[in-house]
Structure 1
Amino acid sequence: MLKLYHAPNTRSTSILALLEELGAADRVEVVNVTVAREDGSGAPDPQNPHPEGKVPYLTNGADYVHERGAIITYLTDMFPDAGMGRPVGHPQRGAFLSWLFYYQGVMEPVLVLDWAKLEHPAVHATFRDLDAVVARLADALDGQPYLLGQAYSAVDLLLSSPFHWLPDAAPKQPAVQDWIKRCAARPALKVIAEREAAQLG
Protein backbone atom coordinates (compact mmCIF):
# COMPACT_ATOMS: atom_id res chain seq x y z
CA MET A 1 0.00 0.00 0.00
CA LEU A 2 1.08 3.55 -0.64
CA LYS A 3 2.29 5.35 2.49
CA LEU A 4 2.92 9.09 2.75
CA TYR A 5 5.07 10.48 5.53
CA HIS A 6 3.72 13.94 6.26
CA ALA A 7 4.01 16.81 8.70
CA PRO A 8 1.13 19.29 8.96
CA ASN A 9 1.65 22.77 7.53
CA THR A 10 4.73 21.87 5.47
CA ARG A 11 5.56 21.32 1.81
CA SER A 12 3.92 17.90 2.01
CA THR A 13 0.55 19.58 2.54
CA SER A 14 0.41 20.10 -1.22
CA ILE A 15 0.68 16.33 -1.70
CA LEU A 16 -2.35 15.81 0.53
CA ALA A 17 -4.22 18.30 -1.65
CA LEU A 18 -3.09 16.38 -4.73
CA LEU A 19 -4.43 13.13 -3.26
CA GLU A 20 -7.79 14.84 -2.77
CA GLU A 21 -7.75 16.04 -6.37
CA LEU A 22 -6.88 12.52 -7.55
CA GLY A 23 -9.69 10.96 -5.52
CA ALA A 24 -7.03 8.76 -3.95
CA ALA A 25 -6.95 9.97 -0.35
CA ASP A 26 -8.46 6.71 0.87
CA ARG A 27 -5.83 4.66 -0.99
CA VAL A 28 -2.82 6.17 0.77
CA GLU A 29 -1.90 5.71 4.42
CA VAL A 30 -0.76 9.04 5.86
CA VAL A 31 1.81 8.82 8.64
CA ASN A 32 2.20 12.08 10.54
CA VAL A 33 5.77 12.71 11.65
CA THR A 34 7.64 15.58 13.22
CA VAL A 35 10.25 17.59 11.34
CA ALA A 36 12.76 20.27 12.24
CA ARG A 37 11.14 23.62 11.46
CA GLU A 38 12.62 26.95 10.43
CA ASP A 39 11.72 28.56 13.75
CA GLY A 40 13.82 25.99 15.61
CA SER A 41 10.88 23.91 16.82
CA GLY A 42 10.35 20.27 16.03
CA ALA A 43 12.92 17.58 15.36
CA PRO A 44 13.55 14.70 12.98
CA ASP A 45 11.25 11.77 13.66
CA PRO A 46 12.83 8.31 13.96
CA GLN A 47 9.81 6.71 12.26
CA ASN A 48 10.35 8.86 9.13
CA PRO A 49 12.45 6.89 6.62
CA HIS A 50 13.47 9.99 4.63
CA PRO A 51 17.30 10.05 4.80
CA GLU A 52 17.27 13.76 5.72
CA GLY A 53 14.24 13.61 8.01
CA LYS A 54 12.13 15.68 5.61
CA VAL A 55 8.66 15.44 4.13
CA PRO A 56 6.99 14.49 1.89
CA TYR A 57 8.26 10.95 1.49
CA LEU A 58 6.17 8.33 -0.32
CA THR A 59 6.66 4.58 -0.16
CA ASN A 60 5.05 1.82 -2.18
CA GLY A 61 6.16 -1.43 -0.69
CA ALA A 62 9.94 -1.51 -0.97
CA ASP A 63 9.98 1.36 -3.47
CA TYR A 64 10.14 5.00 -2.42
CA VAL A 65 9.85 8.48 -3.86
CA HIS A 66 11.01 11.82 -2.51
CA GLU A 67 11.00 15.40 -3.87
CA ARG A 68 7.58 16.85 -4.64
CA GLY A 69 8.00 16.92 -8.40
CA ALA A 70 8.86 13.21 -8.42
CA ILE A 71 6.01 12.35 -6.06
CA ILE A 72 3.57 14.33 -8.19
CA THR A 73 4.71 12.52 -11.33
CA TYR A 74 4.47 9.14 -9.59
CA LEU A 75 0.96 9.75 -8.24
CA THR A 76 -0.51 11.35 -11.35
CA ASP A 77 0.85 8.45 -13.42
CA MET A 78 -0.70 6.00 -10.95
CA PHE A 79 -4.10 7.75 -11.01
CA PRO A 80 -4.36 9.13 -14.56
CA ASP A 81 -8.16 9.26 -14.75
CA ALA A 82 -8.32 12.38 -12.55
CA GLY A 83 -6.66 14.41 -15.29
CA MET A 84 -4.20 16.08 -12.92
CA GLY A 85 -1.16 14.79 -14.80
CA ARG A 86 -0.10 14.15 -18.34
CA PRO A 87 0.62 10.44 -18.92
CA VAL A 88 3.31 9.03 -21.17
CA GLY A 89 2.28 9.65 -24.77
CA HIS A 90 0.19 12.72 -23.96
CA PRO A 91 1.07 15.72 -26.18
CA GLN A 92 1.72 17.82 -23.05
CA ARG A 93 3.83 15.24 -21.21
CA GLY A 94 7.03 17.20 -21.86
CA ALA A 95 5.51 20.50 -20.78
CA PHE A 96 4.10 18.87 -17.63
CA LEU A 97 7.48 17.45 -16.61
CA SER A 98 9.27 20.66 -17.52
CA TRP A 99 7.13 22.75 -15.17
CA LEU A 100 7.64 20.28 -12.31
CA PHE A 101 11.40 20.30 -12.77
CA TYR A 102 11.41 24.08 -13.24
CA TYR A 103 9.76 24.45 -9.88
CA GLN A 104 12.23 22.18 -8.10
CA GLY A 105 15.33 23.40 -9.90
CA VAL A 106 14.67 27.12 -10.37
CA MET A 107 11.51 28.56 -8.86
CA GLU A 108 11.78 27.31 -5.28
CA PRO A 109 15.51 28.14 -4.97
CA VAL A 110 14.80 31.65 -6.28
CA LEU A 111 11.94 32.12 -3.81
CA VAL A 112 14.07 30.94 -0.89
CA LEU A 113 17.02 33.13 -1.89
CA ASP A 114 14.73 36.13 -2.33
CA TRP A 115 13.11 35.52 1.07
CA ALA A 116 16.56 35.22 2.68
CA LYS A 117 17.76 38.39 0.89
CA LEU A 118 20.78 36.56 -0.54
CA GLU A 119 22.32 37.77 -3.77
CA HIS A 120 25.39 36.77 -5.73
CA PRO A 121 26.26 36.99 -9.45
CA ALA A 122 26.64 33.21 -9.64
CA VAL A 123 23.15 32.73 -8.20
CA HIS A 124 21.66 35.19 -10.67
CA ALA A 125 23.47 33.59 -13.60
CA THR A 126 22.29 30.13 -12.60
CA PHE A 127 18.71 30.73 -11.46
CA ARG A 128 17.95 34.31 -12.61
CA ASP A 129 15.80 36.22 -10.11
CA LEU A 130 12.23 36.51 -8.90
CA ASP A 131 11.33 38.98 -11.65
CA ALA A 132 12.39 36.41 -14.25
CA VAL A 133 10.33 33.69 -12.57
CA VAL A 134 7.27 35.93 -12.44
CA ALA A 135 7.75 36.90 -16.10
CA ARG A 136 7.87 33.20 -16.99
CA LEU A 137 4.59 32.56 -15.19
CA ALA A 138 2.92 35.62 -16.68
CA ASP A 139 3.99 34.62 -20.18
CA ALA A 140 2.59 31.10 -19.73
CA LEU A 141 -0.69 32.49 -18.40
CA ASP A 142 -1.16 34.95 -21.25
CA GLY A 143 -4.54 34.12 -22.76
CA GLN A 144 -5.19 31.00 -20.67
CA PRO A 145 -6.29 30.38 -17.07
CA TYR A 146 -3.76 27.67 -16.18
CA LEU A 147 -0.14 26.86 -16.99
CA LEU A 148 -1.02 24.04 -19.39
CA GLY A 149 -4.10 25.66 -20.89
CA GLN A 150 -7.77 25.58 -19.94
CA ALA A 151 -7.62 22.84 -17.32
CA TYR A 152 -6.17 22.93 -13.81
CA SER A 153 -3.39 20.39 -13.29
CA ALA A 154 -0.81 19.30 -10.75
CA VAL A 155 1.67 21.86 -12.08
CA ASP A 156 -0.72 24.63 -11.06
CA LEU A 157 -1.07 23.05 -7.64
CA LEU A 158 2.70 22.90 -7.15
CA LEU A 159 3.76 26.22 -8.63
CA SER A 160 1.04 28.23 -6.90
CA SER A 161 1.65 26.57 -3.51
CA PRO A 162 4.30 28.95 -2.11
CA PHE A 163 2.03 31.94 -2.67
CA HIS A 164 -0.70 30.36 -0.56
CA TRP A 165 1.75 30.23 2.34
CA LEU A 166 3.37 33.61 1.66
CA PRO A 167 0.70 35.85 0.17
CA ASP A 168 2.90 38.93 0.67
CA ALA A 169 5.36 37.43 -1.80
CA ALA A 170 2.70 36.99 -4.48
CA PRO A 171 3.52 38.73 -7.77
CA LYS A 172 1.60 41.89 -8.63
CA GLN A 173 0.85 41.02 -12.28
CA PRO A 174 -2.94 40.69 -12.62
CA ALA A 175 -2.79 37.46 -14.66
CA VAL A 176 -0.56 35.79 -12.07
CA GLN A 177 -2.63 37.07 -9.15
CA ASP A 178 -5.83 35.81 -10.76
CA TRP A 179 -4.20 32.41 -11.34
CA ILE A 180 -3.13 32.19 -7.70
CA LYS A 181 -6.69 33.00 -6.59
CA ARG A 182 -8.15 30.36 -8.92
CA CYS A 183 -5.75 27.76 -7.58
CA ALA A 184 -6.38 28.75 -3.95
CA ALA A 185 -10.13 28.37 -4.45
CA ARG A 186 -9.89 24.66 -5.24
CA PRO A 187 -12.13 22.64 -2.86
CA ALA A 188 -9.30 20.16 -2.22
CA LEU A 189 -7.07 22.89 -0.81
CA LYS A 190 -9.84 24.12 1.46
CA VAL A 191 -10.52 20.61 2.76
CA ILE A 192 -6.85 20.06 3.60
CA ALA A 193 -6.41 23.53 5.12
CA GLU A 194 -9.36 22.95 7.46
CA ARG A 195 -8.11 19.49 8.41
CA GLU A 196 -4.59 20.73 9.16
CA ALA A 197 -5.87 23.72 11.14
CA ALA A 198 -7.88 21.32 13.31
CA GLN A 199 -4.79 19.13 13.85
CA LEU A 200 -2.59 22.06 14.78
CA GLY A 201 -5.25 23.83 16.81
Structure 2
Amino acid sequence: MATILIVEDERSINELIKRNLQSVGHTCIAVLDGGAAIQQLAEQDVDLVLLDVMLPEMDGYEVFRQIRGTPTIFLTARSSLSDKVKGLTIGADDYLVKPFEMLELLARVDAVLRRTKKECKEFELDGVKIEFASRQVFLHAEPVECTPKEFDLLEVLVKNRNIALSRDKLIELVWGYDYAGDTRTVDVHIQKLRKKLDLEARIKTVYKLGYRLEV
Protein backbone atom coordinates (compact mmCIF):
# COMPACT_ATOMS: atom_id res chain seq x y z
CA MET A 1 0.00 0.00 0.00
CA ALA A 2 0.97 3.65 -0.12
CA THR A 3 2.49 6.23 2.20
CA ILE A 4 0.17 9.24 2.31
CA LEU A 5 0.77 12.69 3.79
CA ILE A 6 -2.38 14.37 5.14
CA VAL A 7 -2.21 18.16 5.38
CA GLU A 8 -5.39 19.38 7.09
CA ASP A 9 -5.61 21.98 9.85
CA GLU A 10 -8.94 20.78 11.30
CA ARG A 11 -7.85 18.07 13.74
CA SER A 12 -11.11 16.13 13.64
CA ILE A 13 -11.10 15.89 9.84
CA ASN A 14 -7.38 15.10 9.83
CA GLU A 15 -7.86 12.25 12.29
CA LEU A 16 -10.93 10.89 10.47
CA ILE A 17 -9.08 10.77 7.14
CA LYS A 18 -6.08 9.15 8.81
CA ARG A 19 -8.17 6.42 10.49
CA ASN A 20 -9.98 5.55 7.27
CA LEU A 21 -6.82 5.39 5.16
CA GLN A 22 -5.05 3.29 7.77
CA SER A 23 -8.02 0.94 7.99
CA VAL A 24 -7.49 -0.08 4.36
CA GLY A 25 -3.75 -0.55 4.81
CA HIS A 26 -2.13 2.78 3.92
CA THR A 27 0.62 4.35 6.04
CA CYS A 28 -0.27 7.91 7.02
CA ILE A 29 1.66 10.96 8.15
CA ALA A 30 -0.61 13.72 9.46
CA VAL A 31 0.34 17.39 9.82
CA LEU A 32 -1.69 20.54 10.48
CA ASP A 33 0.04 23.23 8.38
CA GLY A 34 2.00 23.80 5.20
CA GLY A 35 5.37 24.35 6.83
CA ALA A 36 5.21 20.97 8.54
CA ALA A 37 4.17 19.37 5.24
CA ILE A 38 7.17 20.78 3.39
CA GLN A 39 9.48 19.63 6.20
CA GLN A 40 8.05 16.09 6.11
CA LEU A 41 8.48 15.86 2.36
CA ALA A 42 12.08 16.98 2.66
CA GLU A 43 12.77 14.18 5.13
CA GLN A 44 11.01 11.24 3.47
CA ASP A 45 9.32 10.06 0.30
CA VAL A 46 5.55 9.79 0.14
CA ASP A 47 3.34 8.39 -2.60
CA LEU A 48 0.49 10.89 -2.29
CA VAL A 49 -0.40 14.15 -0.55
CA LEU A 50 -3.92 15.06 0.57
CA LEU A 51 -3.68 18.83 0.78
CA ASP A 52 -6.21 21.24 2.25
CA VAL A 53 -6.33 24.52 0.34
CA MET A 54 -7.28 26.79 3.26
CA LEU A 55 -4.34 26.40 5.64
CA PRO A 56 -3.01 28.92 8.19
CA GLU A 57 -0.03 31.10 7.17
CA MET A 58 0.64 29.32 3.86
CA ASP A 59 -2.26 28.17 1.70
CA GLY A 60 -2.38 24.84 -0.09
CA TYR A 61 -1.58 26.34 -3.50
CA GLU A 62 1.71 27.74 -2.21
CA VAL A 63 2.54 24.46 -0.48
CA PHE A 64 1.86 22.63 -3.75
CA ARG A 65 4.21 24.92 -5.68
CA GLN A 66 6.99 23.97 -3.26
CA ILE A 67 6.34 20.22 -3.38
CA ARG A 68 5.63 19.96 -7.11
CA GLY A 69 6.27 16.45 -8.42
CA THR A 70 4.48 14.60 -5.63
CA PRO A 71 0.99 13.31 -6.59
CA THR A 72 -1.54 15.53 -4.82
CA ILE A 73 -5.29 15.66 -4.19
CA PHE A 74 -6.61 19.03 -3.03
CA LEU A 75 -9.22 18.97 -0.25
CA THR A 76 -11.22 22.15 0.05
CA ALA A 77 -14.52 23.77 0.96
CA ARG A 78 -14.21 25.97 -2.13
CA SER A 79 -16.62 24.53 -4.68
CA SER A 80 -16.59 27.19 -7.41
CA LEU A 81 -15.57 26.18 -10.90
CA SER A 82 -12.74 28.74 -10.91
CA ASP A 83 -11.22 27.20 -7.77
CA LYS A 84 -11.41 23.70 -9.27
CA VAL A 85 -9.87 24.87 -12.52
CA LYS A 86 -7.08 26.65 -10.63
CA GLY A 87 -6.24 23.54 -8.61
CA LEU A 88 -6.15 21.28 -11.64
CA THR A 89 -4.39 23.82 -13.85
CA ILE A 90 -1.42 24.16 -11.51
CA GLY A 91 -0.95 20.40 -11.68
CA ALA A 92 -2.96 18.71 -8.93
CA ASP A 93 -4.08 15.15 -9.66
CA ASP A 94 -7.58 15.62 -8.26
CA TYR A 95 -9.77 18.09 -6.39
CA LEU A 96 -12.29 16.98 -3.76
CA VAL A 97 -14.84 19.39 -2.26
CA LYS A 98 -15.80 19.21 1.41
CA PRO A 99 -17.90 17.72 2.83
CA PHE A 100 -17.21 14.39 1.15
CA GLU A 101 -17.91 10.76 1.91
CA MET A 102 -14.92 8.71 3.00
CA LEU A 103 -15.71 6.08 0.38
CA GLU A 104 -15.38 8.74 -2.31
CA LEU A 105 -12.03 9.84 -0.88
CA LEU A 106 -10.79 6.23 -0.82
CA ALA A 107 -11.90 5.74 -4.42
CA ARG A 108 -10.13 8.89 -5.57
CA VAL A 109 -6.98 7.91 -3.68
CA ASP A 110 -7.04 4.52 -5.42
CA ALA A 111 -7.53 6.20 -8.80
CA VAL A 112 -4.56 8.55 -8.35
CA LEU A 113 -2.35 5.76 -7.05
CA ARG A 114 -3.27 3.64 -10.08
CA ARG A 115 -2.30 6.47 -12.43
CA THR A 116 0.99 7.02 -10.60
CA LYS A 117 1.63 3.26 -10.48
CA LYS A 118 1.67 3.09 -6.67
CA GLU A 119 -1.42 0.96 -6.31
CA CYS A 120 -1.47 -2.41 -4.61
CA LYS A 121 -1.13 -5.05 -7.34
CA GLU A 122 -1.78 -8.04 -5.08
CA PHE A 123 -3.57 -8.83 -1.84
CA GLU A 124 -3.21 -11.89 0.39
CA LEU A 125 -5.27 -13.06 3.35
CA ASP A 126 -5.68 -16.49 4.97
CA GLY A 127 -4.36 -18.37 1.97
CA VAL A 128 -6.31 -16.25 -0.52
CA LYS A 129 -4.25 -14.36 -3.10
CA ILE A 130 -5.78 -11.80 -5.46
CA GLU A 131 -3.93 -10.48 -8.50
CA PHE A 132 -5.81 -7.35 -9.53
CA ALA A 133 -4.27 -6.73 -12.96
CA SER A 134 -4.96 -10.25 -14.24
CA ARG A 135 -8.19 -10.60 -12.20
CA GLN A 136 -7.06 -13.97 -10.90
CA VAL A 137 -7.85 -15.45 -7.47
CA PHE A 138 -6.01 -18.29 -5.75
CA LEU A 139 -6.72 -20.30 -2.61
CA HIS A 140 -3.64 -22.02 -1.19
CA ALA A 141 -1.93 -21.51 -4.57
CA GLU A 142 -4.77 -23.20 -6.48
CA PRO A 143 -6.75 -21.04 -8.95
CA VAL A 144 -10.35 -20.30 -8.05
CA GLU A 145 -12.88 -19.50 -10.76
CA CYS A 146 -14.82 -16.33 -9.99
CA THR A 147 -17.44 -14.71 -12.16
CA PRO A 148 -16.78 -11.09 -13.22
CA LYS A 149 -19.23 -9.76 -10.63
CA GLU A 150 -17.81 -12.01 -7.90
CA PHE A 151 -14.36 -10.61 -8.61
CA ASP A 152 -15.67 -7.03 -8.70
CA LEU A 153 -17.40 -7.54 -5.35
CA LEU A 154 -14.27 -9.09 -3.85
CA GLU A 155 -12.18 -6.19 -5.10
CA VAL A 156 -14.56 -3.64 -3.56
CA LEU A 157 -14.48 -5.48 -0.22
CA VAL A 158 -10.68 -5.60 -0.27
CA LYS A 159 -10.21 -1.96 -1.20
CA ASN A 160 -12.66 -0.93 1.53
CA ARG A 161 -11.57 -3.51 4.08
CA ASN A 162 -12.52 -2.94 7.70
CA ILE A 163 -15.29 -0.59 6.51
CA ALA A 164 -18.95 -1.59 6.77
CA LEU A 165 -20.61 -1.29 3.36
CA SER A 166 -24.38 -1.29 2.98
CA ARG A 167 -26.02 -3.53 0.42
CA ASP A 168 -27.12 -0.43 -1.51
CA LYS A 169 -23.54 0.89 -1.58
CA LEU A 170 -22.25 -2.49 -2.80
CA ILE A 171 -24.90 -2.50 -5.53
CA GLU A 172 -23.77 0.98 -6.56
CA LEU A 173 -20.05 0.12 -6.56
CA VAL A 174 -20.30 -3.30 -8.22
CA TRP A 175 -23.45 -3.34 -10.36
CA GLY A 176 -23.85 0.38 -11.03
CA TYR A 177 -26.52 3.03 -10.47
CA ASP A 178 -28.84 1.65 -13.15
CA TYR A 179 -29.02 -1.91 -11.77
CA ALA A 180 -32.65 -3.04 -11.89
CA GLY A 181 -32.45 -5.97 -9.46
CA ASP A 182 -32.73 -5.99 -5.67
CA THR A 183 -30.15 -6.25 -2.91
CA ARG A 184 -30.62 -9.99 -2.48
CA THR A 185 -28.13 -10.49 -5.29
CA VAL A 186 -25.47 -9.07 -2.94
CA ASP A 187 -26.27 -11.73 -0.35
CA VAL A 188 -26.04 -14.48 -2.98
CA HIS A 189 -22.65 -13.29 -4.24
CA ILE A 190 -21.32 -12.87 -0.70
CA GLN A 191 -22.28 -16.45 0.15
CA LYS A 192 -20.52 -17.71 -2.98
CA LEU A 193 -17.34 -15.80 -2.13
CA ARG A 194 -17.36 -17.06 1.44
CA LYS A 195 -17.70 -20.66 0.27
CA LYS A 196 -15.23 -20.51 -2.63
CA LEU A 197 -12.50 -18.75 -0.66
CA ASP A 198 -13.04 -20.05 2.89
CA LEU A 199 -13.70 -16.48 4.06
CA GLU A 200 -16.66 -17.16 6.34
CA ALA A 201 -14.73 -15.76 9.31
CA ARG A 202 -13.51 -12.71 7.41
CA ILE A 203 -16.54 -11.44 5.47
CA LYS A 204 -18.74 -10.33 8.33
CA THR A 205 -22.43 -9.60 8.17
CA VAL A 206 -23.18 -6.16 9.62
CA TYR A 207 -26.64 -6.38 11.21
CA LYS A 208 -29.33 -4.49 9.26
CA LEU A 209 -26.69 -2.90 7.01
CA GLY A 210 -24.48 -5.07 4.83
CA TYR A 211 -21.00 -6.57 4.97
CA ARG A 212 -17.43 -5.87 6.03
CA LEU A 213 -14.17 -7.64 5.17
CA GLU A 214 -12.25 -7.82 8.45
CA VAL A 215 -8.46 -7.74 8.16
Q: TM-score, normalised by structure 1?
A: 0.37
The higher radius of gyration belongs to 2
Answer 1 or 2: which has greater helix percent: 1
Higher relative contact order (CA 8 A, sep 6+): 1
